[in-house]
Every structure is written in structure tokens, then in C-alpha cells.
Structure 1
Amino acid sequence: MSSETTLTRLSATELAARIRNEDVTATEAVEAHLERIEDRDDEVNAFVTVCAEEAREAAAEADRALKNGTDVGPLHGVPVALKDLGDLKAGVRHTFGSALFADHVAERTAVTVERLEAAGAIVIGKTNTPAFGHKGTTDNEVAGPTASPIDTDLNAGGSSGGSAAALAAGMASLATGSDAGGSLRIPAAACGVYGFKPTFGLVPDDGRPNAFGRSTHTVTKGPMARTVEDAALLLSVMAGPDAADPRSVPIDLEPLEAVDRPASDLEIAYSLDLGAFSVDDEVRAVVDDAVDAFEAAGATVDEVTVDHGYEMAELREAVMPTFTTAMVETATVLKESQGVDLREHPDDVSDSLLAMLEAGEAYDSTDLAKTAIVRTDVFDAVQDVLESYDVLVAPTLSSVGVGLHEDPGVEAWDRALTWPFNWTGHPVASAPAGLTDRGHPVGLQLVGSRFDDETVLAASAAFERQRPWHRLYTEG
């Protein structure tokens, strides 16, 4: 096995330890990942921009710091990929997944990226996303579609598809994502990696010029990784209040301590359909089997009903106003701040985004007010379950295998069991549950009480110990 293959298969936690111990240099780690990008990314298309020279310079500086005996951070020398949407890095191309911003260069660095770099992480590139994160597959007019490394005929999912694919293909040790309707969890499920959507407000977002969005249909940044421990490490760096985010919350969190907690005291609630979704038999088989792992770990598992009282059609009717009007808000802010009206550039804006904007403009404040009633009922139903249980588990997606160029359209709302938790703000992860008979990965969602992100990580780690998924991207 080559040194490139060896280093790119290490967990971020182990790679960081080896760099600190000077068993491996940061330069060797960066070069191994750049070589991996060279080998795999033509096929996968995870990256929009590769920061090769900047990463090499940062790695050389990281190696000098160790030689000089400088105290270093927990991610010192570890290559990280940034989603090309909200994770700005000054001086680096930042496209928002839009051809209209193909040559845009960020003028400042986002607070989460500042924290990553302060912890020693080295930005290796920016990862692909659909324009402004508007859908659950990754394809755009800038870079084209991103494939799942597990099956390159399939889309990596979205909107953090490039980040998930980069991890699964060994092109980055860690990656950032964001989630407005499943954008961390959908690609995690499609690529067989771990994605964590924190409690809304836990990870700050200092986005400008609009600092007050993200709440009608909650949007949050979060970690993506190949192991739960790596995600906990990344979350420990990203989380914490910031004065520039009026919605950030001052909650103390110890993610890494949670990873080692035993599962014996956990009480797990299992809902296959969250009270409304229709789940394919092949997904059901994998998830039913995966849930057995919690009992094997010593946890108690009960099947429950999430009793919100709505049919799928009613939920879909309610989610359309909250999501599409959020995209209209994005378009309005772009027009006001950048002078760019997406509707005036149909050749450079995808039909799916234009259709979403048209739908969102048809709703008014009355429509949004009505959705708040449904949203509250769903919140209360989830809360009712979590009053008696530590974690609620459910599939991430009701079906598997979206084609590389396929866009499910409105059917995406029926397919993703993710977006209800963007209404409720609960912390929720997607962990690899296993493979179908066709070899497609299935994701398992783990939902916890608000601000109890540690318990979600603890349950995830217990599941990973019983059903390790590392082989998904280390075999072959």
C-alpha cells in the first residue's frame, strides 16, 4: 500500500496525532491528499477549487511550528475541505455553486473557517454544491455533477455533496457542510460517511449582509467526517457563540467526551416512517437490521409512532412555503447586495432554482403563518418522543440511488426524512447503516433533544462500535 493511500485512509484524529508526534509531516499529509485528488477527482468531481499551493505553504509553516516547539491546535496539519457555499476563505474563489459567481473571490474569512485554521487545519479546497444549496443533489453550471465514490453512476446527494464525496474518496480528512433540508445528511447517506446537523444556533454563522435569516426553515453549518470521533473533534472546534451571529447560543459542549460514553443507559425510539413517509423495502431491511446494533450495545429499543397527525401530502404542502420563500430571500439579498437578479440570467441559473423562486414568490405571509401551525405540531410530536427517550432513530432517505444527472424534483420531499428537523431545530446525525443487496449505502438518522448534541454523538459512536463502516471507503 502506498504512503498516499495509507495517509488518506487514516482518521483525522489519528492523522493529527501522528503529525503532532512527528511520525508524519503536515507536508506529507497534504501531498498525499493532493495526490489522491489528482487520482480520483476527475471521476468523482468533488472539488470546485483545489488550493494546492496555499495548502503546501500552510503545511510547510505547520512543520516549522512543530520543529520550533510551538504549541499547536488539535487539527494541526490536517487537510480539510470547505463547502463552496457559506465557508468563505479570504483570497480563495467562492462560487456559491453558481455560474454567475464563477470568478468570485472571497474578501473575508468566515468565523468557522477562522476557527478551523486557528486549530491548525489546512484548507485543501472548496467542494461542489448546487447553486445556493437549493436541492438535495449536487449538480450545477459551474462544475457539473458530483458522483458518490461508492458508485460513480449515482449522485453524491446534496447540497453538501462535494464534501461527502471528498471524504469518501479519501481526498480530505475532514469537511464542512451546511444543512437547510438535509444537506449534511442526504450526501452523508449517499456516500457512506457521517454528517452531523447540530442544534440550531450551536455553530455560528457570521454571514453578511443578512444576519437574521436561517430560522423559518433552519439552516446550520456542521461537520462531516468518516468517523464519529472525527466529527466530534471538528464540532468541538466549530461550535461556540460568536458576537457576529445574533442567533448563536452560549452552550458549553464537550463532544469528544461524549464519544466514549457507554450505550447501556441509552433508551432508543425507532420510527421507520416518522409518521408519514413511505420507505422502500430495501431501505427498511437495512435499517431494521441496523437498529439491532443498539440492543447489542446494551441500549433499550422501542418502536414508536411520531404522532403529528398529518399525511405526507399535507406536510409537503407546508414545507414548500418555508423552503421556497427562504430561497426567494436568498435571491433578494443577492440582488440588493450584489446587483445580481437570478431571474434575469436563465442561461446561467438552473431550471430547478428558477422554478423554486417562482413557487416561493407565489406565497405570502398568510401562507407562512399557516405553515407555522404544522411546524409546531411536528415539533411537539418529536418532543413527545424525546421526553421518554434519549434518541429517536429513523432512515435518512426512503430510497437509494439517484442517478448522477437525475433531479428528483418535488419527489425529493417525499424521499428525504431529513427536513422535518430543519423545522424543529433538533440535533440530528446521519450514520452509515449498511448496504442494500445492490450495494447502495443507506443512512440512519439519530435525533436528540435540543442542545443535547452530546447524546446524539454518544449514540452514534455506540452504533459505530457495533457496526463499523470504515470498509466502505478503504476496501479496494
Structure 2
Amino acid sequence: FDAACAAFDSAGVEVEVVSGLVPTDATIAWFTIACADMVHALAPYRDRWDDAEGSLAFMLDIGAAVTTADYLAADAARWTLAAAFDGVVADPDRPDTILMSPVANVGSWGPEGPLPTRAGTTDDPAIATNSTDINMSGHPAVAVPTGIDAHGVPIGMQLVSARYDDALALGAAALLEEVAPWPLHPPGYSPFGL
């Protein structure tokens, strides 16, 4: 994150670090909506739900129990989150503002698992979810690679712009690539042939 901020700063882009923007219940709201929507989308296959793998079966069980009140509360949280993002990226006094955040809010983990359940001092079994806030708010965003972590795993940032200003997010990504180019493939791997 700091390196990406420094890269933007070196390109003459004003950088301001903010925290506390995302309400703490945003991931729970996303999960509630996602599970309920999954139940609705897979309703035609209800007779096969017992064949679902673990995480899908879990989401279907949760989604089937979501009440109208639960869904409406989660939807209200979605709009609270969207308004918080709008307060940053759609401020008429600060046009062309981009919000940048890590794609994932925890460090990398091995493919064998387990998923992390803690970030800093926060315990949360869903802590390893990535980009749920942006998915839920509906703002345009582009994920860009920004380096390799201490374990050799690629890491990245999300660049978020105001609604209907996709070009700004894409332009910010192009600028970041220009001032801090990223490798086109991970270290030790050959590029994909087409």
C-alpha cells in the first residue's frame, strides 16, 4: 500500500490516507445478500443442493434462512457503505478522486490453508474475503498488481472511482503501471502463450 501511495505521489498525484471508511458490518451485509441471492439463483436446482461442496452448501443453508427483514437490513448497510464511498470519490469539491485499498485485508496463506481468521487485532472468520465492499457498493474498480509479499505471493490494490466514471479508475491503473511497472507474470514462471 505504501509503495503504491509513493508511486502516485511521485507522479504528482495528491495522496491522502484515510481509515475507518468501511462500516464494520459491511462484510456480514455482503454475505447475507450473497447467500440469499445464491439461493434464489440456484432455486431451479434445489433437488441437487445436497450434492454441493462445503462452502456452497454452507452459503445455501445460510441463504435459505435469510428473512426479508435480514435482507432489507443488509441492503440498508449496502447503501450506507455506498454513501461512504461516494463521500470520498464523488465529492464535487474534489473531482477525479480515486479510493485505493488492498484487494485483500490479510497477508497471503498457503494453498493447503487454513484461511486466516485474524487481521491485526481483529478476529473474523471471513477476514480473508476480498473486494466484498466494492462488489457490494457497485462502484467501478480495477485491481492492479503492486508487488510480491514476503512469501513470494503477488499482492494488489483496488482503485475505485465514482459511479459511471470507469475511465478514471482505468486511467489511474494505467498511470500506476507507468510509474511503477509490474511484472507480467510471477517470478519463476513463464508468460502464458496465446
TM-score norm. by structure 1 comes to: 0.35
Aligned residues of 1:396 and 1:416 also touching (Cα < 8 A): no
**Bigger relative contact order, structure 1 or 2 (CA pairs below 8 A, ≥6 apart):** 2
Residue matched to 1:366: 69
Cα drift, residue 359 of structure 1: 0.9
Q: CA RMSD, aligned part only?
A: 2.3
Report what 1:408 is aligned to: 115
Which residue number corresponds to residue 27 of structure 2?
Answer: 316
1:189-220 Cα offsets, whole Å, 9 max, x none, are xxxxxxxxxxxxxxxxxxxxxxxxxxxxxxxx
**Aligned partners of 1:351, 1:452: CA distance in 2, in Å?**
38
Q: Percent identity?
A: 26
Instruction: Encode CA deviations 1:277-331: one digit per residue, 9 max, x unaligned.
Output: xxxxxxxxxx1122110111121111124545x33xx333322210111111122
- Are the structure 2 counterparts of residues 475 and 425 from structure 1 closer, same or farther at C-alpha, using a change threshold of 3 Å? same
Partner in structure 1 of residue 105 of structure 2: 398
Given that residues 400 and 440 in structure 1 are in contact (C-alpha distance below 8 angstroms), is that contact kept between their aligned partners in structure 2? Answer: no
For the Cα contact (< 8 Å) 1:428–1:448, is it kept in 2? yes
Secondary structure (helix, strand or coil) at the match of 2:70 reads: helix
Q: Structure 2 stretches of 5 or more lacking a match?
A: 118-123, 190-194
Q: Which runs of 4+ in 1 moved over 4 A?
A: 409-412
Question: 2:145 touches 2:157 (CA, 8 Å); kept in 1?
Answer: yes
The structure with the larger Rg is: 1
Q: Cα gap change, 1:450/1:407 in structure 2, threshold over 3 Å: closer, same or farther?
A: farther
- CA distance in 1 between counterparts of 2:73 and 2:39 reads 18
Which residue of structure 1 lines up, in the alignment, with residue 192 of structure 2? none
Tell me if 1:330 matches 2:41.
Answer: yes
Match of 1:357 in 2: 60
Classify 1:448/1:431 alpha carbon distance in 2 versus 1 (closer, same or farther; 3 Å). Answer: same
Counterpart-to-counterpart distance in 2, 1:449 and 1:353: 32
Helix, strand or coil for the counterpart of 1:402?
Answer: coil
State the match for 1:433 in structure 2.
Answer: 146
Secondary structure of the structure 2 residue equivalent to 1:429: strand
Q: Which residue identity is paired with 1:318? A: A
TM alignment of 1:453-468, pairs within 5 A: 453-468=166-181
Aligned twin of 1:300: 14
Q: Give the SS at the match of 1:301.
A: coil
1:288 aligns with 2:40: no
The aligned counterpart of 1:424 is: 137
Query: CA 1:461/1:475 → structure 2, altered by over 3 Å: closer, same or farther?
Result: farther
Q: How many residues align?
A: 179
1:73-88 equivalent positions in 2, closer than 5 A = none
Q: Aligned equivalents of 2:135 and 2:179: distance in 1?
A: 29
Equivalent residue, structure 2, for 1:37: none
Contact (CA 8 Å) 1:429, 1:446: kept in 2 or not? yes
CA distance in structure 1 between the partners assigned to 2:37 and 2:172 by the alignment: 32
Alpha carbons of 1:350 and 1:320: their partners in 2 closer, same or farther (altered >3 Å)? same
Judged with a 3 Å threshold, the aligned counterparts in structure 2 of structure 1 residues 401 and 303 are, in CA distance, closer, same or farther, namely closer
TM-score (norm 2): 0.81
Q: What is the distance in 2 between the residues matched to 1:316 and 1:431? A: 22
Determine the structure 2 residue equivalent to 1:342.
48
For the residues of structure 2 that align with 1:450 and 1:378, how far apart are their CA atoms?
14
